[in-house]
Chains A and B, each alone.
Chain A
């Protein structure tokens, strides 16, 4: 079996590894935008080019006689890569263009939930001009709004009151900037609580949640600094998260099931792939932040590193719409993933600086992202460079492992020491407890 991985980050490295573990011994191929040395080592052939150009990817896939493809990042989904590959008879894990709008268009996603009366969305309005923007910002109130560009912005299209926007005036200026670029946008009520990610494998009918993960978007310790693609993430040995109740988990799962059947009805065909819900546990229950149409990065490293079932078998079943037949197992272990990123990341990162990972003790849990091999040295290209995953029976031990490994990486890089640390997690549990108590008193 020939399997094609589309994308070349640490997420795709984790996918390639999961395929490489398969008893089916598939031959692996990759279409990426950079030459990821980790993926390179696992693949028979590697094409580096514009993966947002579906026809070029299809050409490669056909040349390699690909049986099964999986799409890592969102951008190719938006370009309809799944439509093109499937039309050519290549089974693909990932939603078609119309279905991927659940991620690629924020307004489509919110309207879908509204139309199908799926509860759990914050208040929102969409704008394609500046009319009414000020009034709506004032209606939500100072410090209680979020502005999202309506389209893929690589995580940079979101500004949150208090974190990035310090007054209605600043918020309005951001809207003006978006409007000047003719970008439509949404203004939403800001949610207070704890974020968590529920990623589900789905063929549109069968919906199987993977262990819950908490990602950390902000660049610096204590959740300070600008938003990034994600500095690291953790998952617990019981596959839930310590600050969540069973009702929270159930609400998120219910919402995802409802959204999948709404998508199927709206688009006339089932959503096949990974549906990644980003949720906020708030004092009044679980609210949806957004859906993504693919694996999260870094979440993919947490999840695939403890997946026990054969990933290639699962992907085949999923693409064939037969996921119901498969039993899906994850090891009952905690994971902590940490990214090492170049100094200056994300705003003014150092580029093309060398790094050395040779002292990492367990290279099996080292994942390459924005790095390339140049002669005998590795270069960090400027975005998130490498990730490590610590896996252990409990979070404390998993964090210790991850921290120990990431400290072995030499280069002009930094990482967040706090991710997965006990006191950091305890603060989150405490915060949720306080939020929920307030609710009871009211």
Chain B
């Protein structure tokens, strides 16, 4: 999982990219990079949080009006600069790229590229594959002069070819030296990609493309919707804007963005993440009343922060108090403990502080966005019990997570997923709670799709219902791949 942004500006762009990364920080705290272009590429990247990587001088040194940037989610053993994006190549022409998603046939593609093209590729990551496929496409056949309509059509042809070869999820922002900003999203639209514009008094426009709308307000951009699945967008140096859909397949945006990953104030595919989460809470309350009509909790406490919205809505619908009985230090960031591999249970205690006064002698309903391994949930329950709750209940805003994700969400392999191996009754026992509910698949889809002019036929929820896209790798291969990805 990662956050990406690309901006076409009339002023130097670096500062806006930096601000954007701060607003995409939740999508990746492991590493970040900014790349701008003015006759050549200017690059700065590093490990850690955005504010720790860039200082003022770094940002000022990044010249040009066009740029792209990236925040990286932690990957196993990936604590190196080797895989930091944006990545770029200088020949045959300068192309730079940042990517959010995960390619499921990258083995095949890397082998093809290194064996047929005899190119050097970093064999440990899939991002270079996209860069080289783009380069190959622009390299192979004659490319029209200029950067107008004809050039855009050529780009569409190149990306269309790429769509046919690449499987998996990919939202991409890319810079082509001397030409402009190229943006595209995979034909299933699995990972989000939104865009906006900022109109100057003289009528000229700046454009932004990003994983989420979170920075639009701060930077004065007006949301214009989404880059569609299978669509190609290009802004040339003159600021001419081109878009065309070149290969649409069934639209399957990732439902986990709404459950957990995106910032609640984002709007993705015309669905407000905040409202979606609120509706998840409402639906959970409905289910609670049906399943446990005789149990009325005294207080609803979210496992902060992602489940706050759902917990608030659930409390409201149940007519009980909402309490931040588990407080999370907002400045905790990424802890050292995390990288040193101490167990997850200890990490929870480091991040969350239970408030005795909100818990003692109460029947506490804990709401979390999901139960993945079960270890974190179990620890939270233990903490709440240690503070003398009378009874403890647990509600998960998402259905049981039963399978790995091959499209870029950091869900562990099946072996580690508690719901893949245990029944609800035994999970209840494991968590040591007096009552447990999971959102149903239908209720979750309803919560996400109830409002908005979206055209979501069916979100991708393979991790919950096991319906992987037809072009997914087989389960055998998957095991191999997840081991590498996660």
Binding site for B on A (CB under 8 A): 206-212, 238-240, 246-247, 249-250, 253-254, 257, 323-325, 327-330, 332, 440
Contacts of B110 in A (CB 8 A): 246, 250, 253
Contact status A238-B120, CB under 8 Å: no
A206 to B89, CA, bound (A): 13
A250 to B115, CA, bound (A): 9
* B92-109 near A? 1/0 per residue, CB < 8 Å: 100000000000000110
Tell me which of B112, B118, B122 contacts A329 (CB under 8 A): B118
Contacts of A257 in B (CB 8 A): 122-123
Looking at the assembled complex, report how far the CB atom of A156 sits from the nearest CB atom of chain B, in whole angstroms.
32
Looking at the assembled complex, report how far the CB atom of A249 sits from the nearest CB atom of chain B, in whole angstroms.
4
A-B contact pairs, 15 of them (CB 8 A): A206-B120, A207-B120, A238-B115, A239-B116, A240-B111, A246-B107, A247-B107, A249-B115, A250-B110, A253-B114, A254-B124, A257-B122, A327-B92, A327-B118, A332-B116
Contact status B112-A246, CB under 8 Å: yes
Contact status B118-A249, CB under 8 Å: no
Of the candidates A238, A250, A440, the one having the most CB atoms from chain B within 10 angstroms of its own CB is: A250
A238 to B116, CA, bound (A): 7
Given contacts A208-B118, A210-B118, A330-B118, 15 further A-B contacts (CB under 8 A): A208-B114, A209-B114, A209-B118, A212-B115, A240-B111, A247-B480, A249-B114, A249-B115, A250-B110, A253-B110, A253-B111, A253-B114, A253-B123, A324-B120, A440-B476
Contacts of A324 in B (CB 8 A): 120
B91 within 8 A of A: yes
A87 to B54, CA, bound (A): 43
Contacts of A330 in B (CB 8 A): 118
Contacts of B476 in A (CB 8 A): 440
Looking at the assembled complex, report how far the CB atom of A299 sits from the nearest CB atom of chain B, in whole angstroms.
15
Question: DSSP class of B's interface residues: helix, strand, loop or mixed?
Answer: helix
Contact status A250-B107, CB under 8 Å: yes
B165 within 8 A of A: no
Looking at the assembled complex, report how far the CB atom of A322 sits from the nearest CB atom of chain B, in whole angstroms.
12
B451 within 8 A of A: no
Which residue of chain A has its CB nearest to the CB of B110?
A250
Contacts of B91 in A (CB 8 A): 325, 327
Contacts of B123 in A (CB 8 A): 250, 253-254, 257
B458 within 8 A of A: no
Cβ-closest 10 pairs across A and B:
A246-B111, A249-B111, A246-B108, A328-B118, A254-B123, A206-B120, A239-B115, A247-B107, A246-B107, A250-B111
Contacts of A250 in B (CB 8 A): 107, 110-111, 114, 123
Contacts of A332 in B (CB 8 A): 116
Contacts of B40 in A (CB 8 A): none
Question: DSSP class of A's interface residues: helix, strand, loop or mixed?
Answer: mixed
B356 within 8 A of A: no
Could you tell me which residues of chain B, from 156 to 203, have a CB within 8 Å of some CB in chain A? none
Which residue of chain A has its CB nearest to the CB of B123?
A254
A210 to B120, CA, bound (A): 11
Contact status A211-B120, CB under 8 Å: no
**Residue count of chain B within 8 Å CB distance of chain A:** 19
A223 to B118, CA, bound (A): 31
Contact status B107-A208, CB under 8 Å: no
B119 within 8 A of A: yes
Contacts of B111 in A (CB 8 A): 240, 246-247, 249-250, 253
Contacts of A212 in B (CB 8 A): 115
Which residue of chain B has its CB nearest to the CB of A210?
B118
Contacts of A325 in B (CB 8 A): 91
Looking at the assembled complex, report how far the CB atom of B196 sits from the nearest CB atom of chain A, in whole angstroms.
37
Binding site for A on B (CB under 8 A): 91-92, 107-108, 110-112, 114-116, 118-120, 122-124, 476-477, 480
A209 to B110, CA, bound (A): 12
A249 to B114, CA, bound (A): 9
Of the candidates B110, B116, B118, B480, the one having the most CB atoms from chain A within 10 angstroms of its own CB is: B118
Which residue of chain A has its CB nearest to the CB of B105?
A246
Contact status B119-A208, CB under 8 Å: yes
Contacts of B119 in A (CB 8 A): 208, 328
A254 to B110, CA, bound (A): 10
Contacts of A249 in B (CB 8 A): 111, 114-115
A207 to B120, CA, bound (A): 5
A327 to B91, CA, bound (A): 9
Which residue of chain B has its CB nearest to the CB of A201?
B118
Looking at the assembled complex, report how far the CB atom of B225 sits from the nearest CB atom of chain A, in whole angstroms.
38
A101 to B159, CA, bound (A): 45
A253 to B119, CA, bound (A): 11
Contacts of B124 in A (CB 8 A): 254
Which residue of chain B has its CB nearest to the CB of A324?
B120
Contacts of B108 in A (CB 8 A): 246
A206 to B110, CA, bound (A): 15
Contacts of B477 in A (CB 8 A): 247
Looking at the assembled complex, report how far the CB atom of B11 sits from the nearest CB atom of chain A, in whole angstroms.
34
Contact status B115-A240, CB under 8 Å: yes
Looking at the assembled complex, report how far the CB atom of A140 sits from the nearest CB atom of chain B, in whole angstroms.
27
A325 to B118, CA, bound (A): 13
A208 to B119, CA, bound (A): 6
Contacts of A207 in B (CB 8 A): 120
A247 to B473, CA, bound (A): 13
A211 to B117, CA, bound (A): 10
Which residue of chain A has its CB nearest to the CB of B119?
A208
Contacts of B115 in A (CB 8 A): 209, 211-212, 238-240, 249
Contacts of B118 in A (CB 8 A): 208-210, 239, 327-330
Contacts of A329 in B (CB 8 A): 118
Contacts of A211 in B (CB 8 A): 115
Of the candidates B119, B477, B480, the one having the most CB atoms from chain A within 10 angstroms of its own CB is: B119
Which residue of chain A has its CB nearest to the CB of B91?
A325
Looking at the assembled complex, report how far the CB atom of A240 sits from the nearest CB atom of chain B, in whole angstroms.
5
Which residue of chain B has its CB nearest to the CB of A240?
B115
Looking at the assembled complex, report how far the CB atom of A319 sits from the nearest CB atom of chain B, in whole angstroms.
17
A254 to B124, CA, bound (A): 7
A238 to B112, CA, bound (A): 9
Looking at the assembled complex, report how far the CB atom of B267 sits from the nearest CB atom of chain A, in whole angstroms.
39
Looking at the assembled complex, report how far the CB atom of A298 sits from the nearest CB atom of chain B, in whole angstroms.
20
Contacts of B114 in A (CB 8 A): 208-209, 249-250, 253
Looking at the assembled complex, report how far the CB atom of B277 sits from the nearest CB atom of chain A, in whole angstroms.
40
A330 to B115, CA, bound (A): 10
A206 to B92, CA, bound (A): 16
A409 to B122, CA, bound (A): 46
Looking at the assembled complex, report how far the CB atom of B178 sits from the nearest CB atom of chain A, in whole angstroms.
19
A324 to B88, CA, bound (A): 13
A180 to B92, CA, bound (A): 58
Which residue of chain A has its CB nearest to the CB of B124?
A254
A250 to B111, CA, bound (A): 5
Looking at the assembled complex, report how far the CB atom of B10 sits from the nearest CB atom of chain A, in whole angstroms.
35
A41 to B107, CA, bound (A): 45
A327 to B135, CA, bound (A): 12
A118 to B47, CA, bound (A): 25
